[in-house]
Structure formats: structure tokens, C-alpha cells
Structure 1
């Protein structure tokens, strides 16, 4: 491509004269061609490039390949504790990447992740409304979450100018901490009632932080940890897992969305457009498992508004997409590029296995999240 000779109107900015500059205005008379790696003769450079280019659908770092190549986490049975019990107030142990590696490689870390995988497998191919075994314990936990929902109705948000962090949330959270011990005693059998000292901190941290008025995947992981503790004590059993997801976790998700909207909780440690969601991760795992081998709905179906409108109540993944579209404006590919990329995956089985690997890498292996993780007699620091 030959350099193009330019005619000047003498309005160009002044530059130092040179053999290749206009004698009158000092502007260049020739320009080098654009690099061939950027443009071709068929596709010339645009006259205008926006200052804020659309989000590029690539992860913000280079470890995505490591996530792809990692093995898919497998489900594990949760070992139940036996008497004599030694319940204790759980404490934080993780402070560094070495501590993270110690936890991930330990039997405790592997078993906790295996529990999450087992929950995911329990809901595979099932709608939320499908009948399942519902024990008295499950029904009691759902009634507790319904009570917490009612508190959000009774404690209205305050009028304030700040966009995030309505101070009324602290009133809601204070009521939670005042009542959490009695709430646990509603379903714990007599021989396990001493466990309140250990499981209450997990429960209280499952709904956000009252000082920062925020919520994120670390708090969500606390809820999973609380459920894991109940499984360790045998309070919930494997036959309850389906109901744990479709009844308990679905109600928990409803509650957290209510709190997010009513009290404008700040996203805790949000990845911005590079996260699945500002607040949640687990419902994408459980929701993708629900849709494995579905005859009609594919990952690309999230772009069909009719499908979202008609099936969001039955499939957790679709409800997550519908909620994101409700609270975020603009093009989906720009505000949620990662979810948009996932919609191009050919089947839900690959989506589910990829999300499990990503949960391990992006949540359980991140110090800013796991530095708040608690260890006691049920989740041991080995």
C-alpha cells in the first residue's frame, strides 16, 4: 500500500519543517500506512473510535487456562461426627496464599468442595418445584428464612442520599444476631444443642456484613459452610440434599435478593464485569446442573426473553440471568461479558463442570475472600 500524498488547507498544527513537510504550514505531506495487523485494504481504519470501547470478552488475567486444564471437582460423602462432641467458637486461620494451599489440599478443604458438588448433583435435571424428600428439619430452616424475609418488610430502608449501604440494614442484622441462637435451637436435637456456639457465627456471616453493609461470595460461602456443618452433625442427610438446594438455598437466594434491593448492599469484593455476578456464585452452579440434558434449553437460551419470563421460577440459572438483567442496564455482553461468553458453551454439562472449577479457583483459592473463613471442630484447620 503506497503512502498517500495529502493536500492541505493550512489548518494543520504546526510542526518543525522537514523535507517531507509542507513548505507553507509545516504539516506532513505523507503518512505511513496503518499496520497490516490492525487493518486491511478491505477494512480500512474507522474515522472515529469511541473513548470507551466495548468490553472485550477475555478474562482479566492469564490463569484462565489453568482453570480450564484443572480437574473437575468430584462429590464426596460428608463424614458425620460422633460423641463426645467438642464444639468451639470458630476462628479465622487463613492469612496468606500458603494458608490457602494448605486448606485446599487438606481433607477438610476437599470434603467441603465435594459437599458443594454433591449438592449440585442432587438437583441435576430437576425443576425447583419438583417433589422431593422434605424432612422436618428442612421445613423448619425454610420457615426461619421466611421469618428473616418478613423482617425486611418490618424494617423499611431509611431515607438517605448514599446510593449503597442503607443504614436500616444494621437494624435488620442486629435483630438477626440477637435471635440467631434461638433460631438454631428450633431444629437442633437435644444432644446437639451445644453446637450453637459453633454454627451461629457461620449463620450470622451468611447474610452480609453489618459494618460495611455489603454482601458477596464469601458470605454465600458461609451459608454453604453452615449447611456443611449441619451435614457433619447429621442434622441434614444425603436424602435431604435435593431439598437443601430446591427449598433451602432457593429461599436463601430469594432472601438475599430482597436484602440487596431493600438495603442496597454494596457488592463485597466484586470483580465488576469480570465476575459472574456482583453477589452470587453457587446458584449458577446449581442452576446449570438443573439444566443438564434439557431437551430444549441450551446455554444460548439465556438470550431468549420469553424463556426467562416463563422458566426463571423453575431454574436457578435462568433466575440469576433475569435478575442481572433487571438490575443492570445496557447491552448484556457489555455489563456481563463472562455470562455472555458462557452462553456460547455447547452444553450445560460443560458449563457446570467449568463453574465448579471456577468456584474453586475464584472463591476458595482467593485470600481476600477466604481470610474470613472460619474453622472449628466441624470444619477443622488440620
Structure 2
């Protein structure tokens, strides 16, 4: 097999519709659903077999966590937006891919799987992060399976050890570098950054005898069990960052979901929502990449060079400008462009700092 640098092929709604009918889509969502099934009724610390390759992945993520500590945020106290030190971290990861993967991935394949990996930590230009970057991490794991680095026997460990460590690393990046939420839906989203911890997390709680969907409103339950269940860890994170009012005000969608009687309903709804609100949304999926391992011949091959300062590829279409039939090129901007959304983490951090006295 000839490995290639993954590229973006989804620019228009027509491209996206084609992808949603493709084998690449079926492979990706099938992998997510399989991982979901593997952790039903399992706590984060459940006994799972850790293969040699899974341990290597965990070591790689630990290395990145150490690098975050070694690359502190630069002085940026007057801004609630992303800290420029993130770019230093990002470049270090990008330039270290061959060394990081030397004991994990066949050398010819590093060129392909490496890009999925470093693009799973956010956007270097915008210093932001969202569900599209999270999807890149899952695509990376799917590529590792296609290379026989991971197998179906690793599924439990992939979710309960690898994915949870990735989320922990991402929270570290979000807190230290104040990553902005990419294309945030604000109060109408589950979380400023992630989706899959809610999906996998609801599977973990499927038949729990005492913790119910409405238990997210019990701060003691959330506090005690947040280390054991991803769903409650997400609620704990939101409560930590968005300290004003209640879930009803800053996270009404989560509040509505808490009215479900069973976790089965929540989990089924999460899978449907992931398909509709992540995989079927152009502003997110225009960033998804395809190569020889996750292969999609539809759409239109794009180069990263076509990205503008907002970090997106804008669809270009001919536009009639007069009755004489003269055409000019016009741009159609996706919904994700516009005013950058500052980090709520940054806002909370700045709010907690003591205000200097006028004569200090």
C-alpha cells in the first residue's frame, strides 16, 4: 500500500452528502459504535488488558503532557483568547512525529497517521479546539487498527485508558493555553470542546442502579463519581468553568437530556446526535481528512494552502453580477466563521484573580 499525507475533500454540502453515503463514513461511525458497545456498564478503572501497543500510545500521551508543563503559557493576561505558547507545543508535536511513532507505526505509514495525530490537538492558527479535532483523534485510532497496531481486543483499553488520557491531556491544553472553542454552539451545545465523552460516558452508566440521568443536578454525586464515569467528569468540568447560575441557564441541552428516564435513551440519543450534529455538519466535516487508510474518492481534493486566516477552506462558486452574463468569483462562508469565541476557562481564571489596588 502506498501511504499519503491525508487531505481534506469535503468543501460543499454536495461533498458532505456524498461522504455520508460512503464506505469511509460507515467505517468511521461503525468504529465509534463498536467502541461505545465495548464500555457499556464499565467504570474508568475497570480491569482491562493493556497490550504492548496500547501501552506505547499511553506513553506517547504522557510525553505530550510533560511537554505542556515544559512549555508554559506566555504573558497574555489582558486577553481571554488562546495563548500563543500553544503554537510552540503544536510545532513540537508535529516535528516529533517520527520519533514518537518509531516503536508504534511502520515507518512508511507515519506520513499518513502522523497528520491525524497532531491535528487532533487543535488548530495552530486559531488556537482553538472542537469536535472536528476530537474526530481526528478517533480517525487516528481507526488508522492504527487498519495497520494492525490495534485490534478489536483493545477496544475497552482504547476507550477507558487511551481516550480518557487524551481527554485529560486536552483539558490540560484547554486550561493552560486557553484554547478557544472551535465553532462553539454556546449554550446550545453539550460542551465547548467535546462530544464523545458524553457518548461513551452514557454507555458506561447504562444499567447503573443508583446514578440516573437526573443525577447530574446532584453536585455531591457528580463530585464523587466524576473520576469513574466520563459523563459525570464532563459535568464536573462544566460546573468548574461555568460557575454562574445552573445547567438550565448555561447548558440547557444537558438539562433537557437529564429528563430522560434511562441511560439507554441517553446513549441512543447521543449516537443519533453525533451523526446529525457532528458528522453531518459542513463546518466540522470540512476539516476531516482522507488518505489511503480512511479512503474517500468523492468530494474535491483540497490543500491546506487554501485555508484562510480563520483556518477554514471556503467554498468558491461563480456568481452572476449583472444581466449581461458577466460572472465573478464569490465566496460562500460556512457557519463557523465570524467573531472568535473566547475561552470560558480564561474568563473564569481572570475572574478569580484578585483585582490590583489603584496604588499597587
What is the TM-score of this pair, normalised by structure 2? 0.81
Match of 1:172 in 2: 89
- Counterpart-to-counterpart distance in 2, 1:350 and 1:317: 14
1:144 aligns with 2:60: yes
Aligned to 1:94: 10
CA distance in 2, matches of 1:103, 1:260: 31
1:365 corresponds to: 280
Question: Per chain length, whose mean CA-contact separation is higher, i.e. which structure has more relative contact order (CA < 8 Å, sep 6+)?
Answer: 2
Residue 164 of structure 1, CA deviation = 1.4
In the TM superposition, residue 234 of structure 1 has moved relative to its aligned partner by 1.4
The alpha-carbon deviation at position 186 of structure 1 amounts to 2.2
| Residue of structure 2 in register with 1:81 after alignment | none
1:130 maps onto 2:55 in alignment = no
**Per the alignment, in what secondary structure is the counterpart of residue 198 of structure 1?**
helix
Deviation at 1:310, TM superposition (A): 1.0
Aligned mates of 1:184, 1:344 — CA distance in 2: 44
- Please say if 1:228 is aligned against 2:145: no
Residue 329 of structure 1 and its aligned partner are, at CA, apart by 2.1
SS in structure 2 at match of 1:105: coil
From 168, 176, 182, give the equivalent of 2:99: 182
2-structure distance, mates of 1:186, 1:170 = 26
How many Å separate the matches in 2 of 1:98 and 1:294? Answer: 42
Q: Which residue of 2 aligns with 1:297?
A: 211
Q: Distance in 1 between matches of 2:252 and 2:225?
A: 22
Distance 1:216 1:357 in 2: 19
Question: 1:338 maps to what in 2?
Answer: 253
Aligned alpha-carbon RMSD (Å) = 0.8
Distance in 2 separating the partners of 1:156 and 1:197: 29
- Largest Rg, 1 or 2: 1
Deviation at 1:181, TM superposition (A): 2.1
1:354 aligns with 2:263: no
Is 1:163–2:80 an aligned residue pair? yes
Which residue does the alignment assign to 1:255? 169
Gaps of at least 5 residues in structure 1 are: 1-84
Q: 2:124 aligns with which of 210, 215, 233?
A: 210
Equivalent residue for 1:265, pick from 163, 179, 188: 179
Quote the offset at 1:118 in angstroms: 0.5
Q: Secondary structure at the match of 1:166?
A: coil
TM-superposed CA distance for 1:185, in Å, is 1.6
Q: Find the counterpart in structure 2 of residue 116 from structure 1.
A: 32
Q: Distance in 1 between matches of 2:282 and 2:66?
A: 34
Structure 1: distance between partners of 2:52 and 2:71: 29
- TM-score, length basis structure 1: 0.76
The answer for unaligned runs of 5 or more in structure 2 is: 298-360
Following TM superposition, the consecutive aligned residue runs of length 4 or more in structure 1 with deviations greater than 3 angstroms are none
2:190 aligned to 259, 262, 276, which one? 276
Supply the distance in 2 between the matched residues of 1:327 and 1:164 (Cα, whole angstroms).
15
